[in-house]
Amino acid sequence: MNCEHDHFEDLLQTAQIGVQVKDFTFDVYDAAEGAFHPMSLSEPQRQDRWTVLFFYPADFTFVCPTELADLAEKHARLEELGAEVVSVSTDTQFVHMAWKNAERLLRDVRFKMAADPSGELSRYFDIWDPDTGLALRGTYIIDPDGVLVSSEVNFYNVGRNADELVRKLAACKHVREHPGEACPARWSPGKKTLTPGKDLVGRVYESLNE
């Protein structure tokens, strides 16, 4: 048995940073409209928009509503940056609606809540846990060309920070619009970027502080 070949075949079936993602169609509960409808992963791309996929383990749990409430606080800013925000779990769209209506922490959620009951989307992004049938806490940023440019995965017991998601999306957007530049650690809009090249070698400090 060729284990290296099998591992390579598995990688071909999962999303990879810097590679265009496969298209998927899934059902969503649109919290803004209070309606159910299908959505394709390529839909935002056709509108020249970014996509933020926000996977979480399950509705009616404990850390998850705090994360979605935090994401809801930054939803308007993420939209200003040109992103379609979609939360995803292995629950159905009907459970999403029931949870949204029952949990007070979700009262400001206005983004689409995608259903992945088969785990197909979670498997593709390589965060499906076969022992539980749930997705880990994964955040993915896809650019308007459909290329995966950012990935973050946490285990079940650690929630994420939507402030950092906003910062990363702003950085991804900046370098896409300025391909000769790179964003250093803790970069935020208005701060200095780096221009990789021979003149920068060994002089990063000087470049950031001149």
**Cα–Cα distances in angstroms (integers) from residue 133 to residues 90, 103, 181, in the given order:** 8, 23, 41
From CA 153, how far away is CA 36, in angstroms rounded? 28
Element spanning 64, H or E: helix 63-80
Indicate which residues carry an active-site annotation.
Answer: 64
**Cα–Cα distances in angstroms (integers) from residue 19 to residues 40, 69, 75, 166, in the given order:** 18, 30, 26, 22
Residues in the chain: 210
Phi, psi of 99 (to 5 degrees): -65, -45
